[in-house]
Structure 1
Amino acid sequence: MEQEFHRIKRLPPYVFAEVNAMKARARAAGEDIIDLGMGNPDQPTPQHIVDKLCEAARNPRAHGYSMSKGIPGLRKAMSGYYERRFNVNLDPESEIIVTLGSKEGLANLAQAITSPGDIVLAPNPSYPIHAFGFIIAGGSVRSIPATPNEDFLRAMDRGVRHSVPKPVAVIVNFPSNPTAMVADLAFYKEVVDFCRRHEIFVLSDIAYSEIYFDDVPPPSILQIPGAKDVAVEFSSMSKTYNMAGWRIGFAAGNRKLISALSRVKSYLDYGAFTPVQVAATAALNGPQDCVEQTRLVYKERRDVLIEGLHQAGWMVPPPPASMFAWAPIPPAFQHLGSVEFSKLLMREAKVAVAPGLGFGEQGDDHVRIGLVENKHRIRQAVRNIKGFLQNYDKVLEDAEKQRVVLK
Structure 2
Amino acid sequence: MPSLSQRLGKLAPYPFVEISRIIAEKRAAGADVVTFGIGDPDIPTPQPVIDRLLTASQDPPNHRYPETDGLPEMRRAIAHWYKQRFDVDLNPDTEVLPLIGAKEGIGHAAFCFLDPGDVALVPDPAYPVYAVGTMFAGAESYVMPLHQRNGWLPDLDAIPEDVARQAKVMWLNYPNNPTSAVASQEDLESALRYCREHDIAMLHDAAYSEVGYDGYRAGSMMQIDGAKEVGLEFHSLSKTYNMTGWRMGMAVGNADMIKALFQIKANLDSGVPQAIQEMSMEALTGPQDCIEDNIGTYQWRRDRVLRALTRMGLNVETPRASLYIWAPVPEGFTSADFAARLLEEIDIVVTPGSSYGQYGEGYIRLSLTTPDERVETGCQRLESWTIPAPRA
Question: How far apart are the structure 2 equivalents of 1:311 and 1:320?
Answer: 20
* Bigger proportion of residues as helix: 1
Conserved in 2, the CA contact under 8 Å of 1:145 and 1:151? no
Q: Counterpart in 2 of 1:326?
A: 326
Task: State the AA in 2 paired with 1:137.
Answer: A
Q: Counterpart in 1 of 2:376?
A: 379
Question: How far apart are the structure 2 equivalents of 1:19 and 1:77?
Answer: 35
Conserved in 1, the CA contact under 8 Å of 2:235 and 2:251? yes
Q: Counterpart in 2 of 1:403?
A: none
Structure 2 counterpart of 1:349, from 340, 343, 346: 346
Q: Does 1:392 align with 2:356?
A: no
Task: State the AA in 2 paired with 1:99.
Answer: L
> Deviation string for 1:180-225 (max 9, x for gaps)?
0011111111111111111111000000000110323111111110
1:11 Cα deviation after fit: 1.8
Equivalent position SS for 1:235? strand
Question: How far apart are the structure 2 equivalents of 1:29 and 1:228?
Answer: 53
> Deviation string for 1:156-184 (max 9, x for gaps)?
34435032851001111000010000111
Question: How far apart are the structure 2 equivalents of 1:299 and 1:151?
Answer: 21
1:102 Cα deviation after fit: 0.6
Conserved in 2, the CA contact under 8 Å of 1:178 and 1:324? yes
Conserved in 1, the CA contact under 8 Å of 2:125 and 2:145? yes
Conserved in 1, the CA contact under 8 Å of 2:152 and 2:181? no
Q: Does 1:241 align with 2:238?
A: no
Q: Counterpart in 2 of 1:112?
A: 112
1:12 Cα deviation after fit: 2.7
1:17 Cα deviation after fit: 5.5
Report the CA distance shift for 1:270/1:98 in structure 2 as closer, same or farther (over 3 A).
same
1:336 Cα deviation after fit: 3.2
Equivalent position SS for 1:233? strand
- 39-48 vs 306-315, greater mean Cα deviation: 306-315
What TM-score do the two structures reach when normalised by structure 2?
A: 0.95
> Deviation string for 1:245-279 (max 9, x for gaps)?
10000000011110100011111222111011001
Q: Does 1:86 align with 2:116?
A: no
Conserved in 2, the CA contact under 8 Å of 1:106 and 1:130? yes
Question: How far apart are the structure 2 equivalents of 1:19 and 1:282?
Answer: 33
Percent identical pairs in the alignment equals 36
RMSD: 2.0
Equivalent position SS for 1:163? helix
Task: State the AA in 2 paired with 1:87.
Answer: D
Q: Counterpart in 1 of 2:194?
A: 194
Conserved in 1, the CA contact under 8 Å of 2:146 and 2:153? no
Q: Counterpart in 1 of 2:219?
A: 219
Report the CA distance shift for 1:391/1:357 in structure 2 as closer, same or farther (over 3 A).
closer
- 199-208 vs 339-348, greater mean Cα deviation: 339-348
1:148 Cα deviation after fit: 9.7
Task: State the AA in 1 paired with 2:335.
Answer: S
1:315 Cα deviation after fit: 2.4
Counterparts of 1:102-141 in structure 2, within 5 Å, are: 102-141=102-141
1:311 Cα deviation after fit: 2.4
Task: State the AA in 2 paired with 1:174.
Answer: Y
Conserved in 2, the CA contact under 8 Å of 1:328 and 1:365? yes
Q: Counterpart in 1 of 2:356?
A: 359
Q: Does 1:370 align with 2:367?
A: yes
Counterparts of 1:284-323 in structure 2, within 5 Å, are: 284-323=284-323
For structure 1, the 5+ residue unaligned runs are 401-407
Conserved in 2, the CA contact under 8 Å of 1:238 and 1:247? yes
Task: State the AA in 2 paired with 1:259.
Answer: K
For structure 2, the 5+ residue unaligned runs are none
Question: How far apart are the structure 1 equivalents of 2:7 and 2:81?
Answer: 38
1:282 Cα deviation after fit: 0.7
Question: How far apart are the structure 2 equivalents of 1:38 and 1:232?
Answer: 26
Report the CA distance shift for 1:336/1:359 in structure 2 as closer, same or farther (over 3 A).
same
1:337 Cα deviation after fit: 1.3
Task: State the AA in 1 paired with 2:388.
Answer: Y
What is the aligned length?
392
Report the CA distance shift for 1:64/1:385 in structure 2 as closer, same or farther (over 3 A).
same
Conserved in 2, the CA contact under 8 Å of 1:128 and 1:359? yes
Equivalent position SS for 1:168? strand
Report the CA distance shift for 1:16/1:72 in structure 2 as closer, same or farther (over 3 A).
closer
